[in-house]
Amino acid sequence: MHNLDFSSWHSLLATAIGLSLITLMGVGIRLLVMVAVQQRRERMNRQINERLRTLIAAYRTLGGSFTGDLAVDPRHRRELRVMGDADALTPARADEGTDTVNAAGSDRARRIRDAVEAALSDIILLGTEEHVRLADHAARELVTGQRVHTHDLVVSLRDFIRRALDLEPIPADLALPMQGPARAQASGNRGKEEGRKDGTGGNAGGAGMQAGGDTTIAGDSHLDDPGNTSRH
């Protein structure tokens, strides 16, 4: 303030310009700092949201069922095929429908196992230390061919997600049932159900098959008619 000169218009104008430049520089630096902090905060929020989204999807996959078989079957189709061949060598078979039932069950178990393995991979990538340890234990059991229960990992994920979303913890007096992996649905069955809802797929296919069948029958009768050949 001692260097400010207000004795003339020129000095006053120079002083005003200097103060304006200093103010603009201060405001510019402050804006740059605020933008950098805001961008960093937005990046962290995106990372947190993506992490929570992935862990919530893993929680739904690992703990989406309360009833039925809540264990993950680690066997692959080749192992089931070897077991099926061994059963085929036995003299007595229950009935012919057991092959279809076993095939459907093995396909569902395969889809559940693949979904669980993908969820465990995501948890190892984005989970906490406790999550990673539980996921590693489950993955090692799958590798060794043991049936795996994911309830402990599901409970740990549930508590972490509720804390991250600022939700109240689960009341201690509640005895929640054991949770297991969600039962996946086949894409073919889903397509059939959508076709039934539309009401067009089956009718259109039936009409096309009927029209094609009539055309084929008419052509065959024309070729098999000896009278038509004699006229030509």
Q: Give 44-90 pLDDT, tens digit per residue.
A: 999 999 999 999 999 999 998 898 888 888 887 555 555 555 544 45
> What secondary structure, in 3-state letters, does the chain show?
CCCCCCCCHHHHHHHHHHHHHHHHHHHHHHHHHHHHHHHHHHHHHHHHHHHHHHHHHHHHHHCCECCCCCEECCCCHHHHHHHHHHHHCCCCCCCCHHHHHHHHHHHHHHHHHHHHHHHHHHHHHHCCHHHHHHHHHHHHHHHCCCCEECHHHHHHHHHHHHHHCCCCCCCCCCCCCCCECCCCCCHHHHHHHHHHHHCCHHHHHHHHHHHHHHHHHHHHHHHHCHHHHHHC
Please report the pLDDT score of residue 9 as a whole number: 73
Q: Report the pLDDT value the prediction gives residue 55, as an integer from 0 to 100.
A: 95
Average pLDDT, the chain: 75
- On whether residue 141 sits in a domain, the answer given is yes
Structural domains in the chain (count): 1
Q: Which domain holds residue 120?
A: 48-76+104-165
61 within some domain: yes
Answer whether residue 19 is part of any domain.
no
Q: Is the pLDDT of residue 100 over 90?
A: no
- What mean pLDDT comes out for the span 204-231? 43
> Is residue 11 included in any domain, yes or no?
no
Judge whether 142 lies within some domain.
yes
State the pLDDT confidence band at 220, using cuts at 50, 70 and 90.
Answer: very low
Across the range 167-172, mean pLDDT stands at: 89
85 in a structural domain: no
| pLDDT above 70: residue 177 | yes
Q: Is the pLDDT of residue 132 over 90?
A: yes
On whether residue 146 sits in a domain, the answer given is: yes
Tell me if 222 is assigned to some domain: no
Mean pLDDT, residues 185-191 taken together: 51
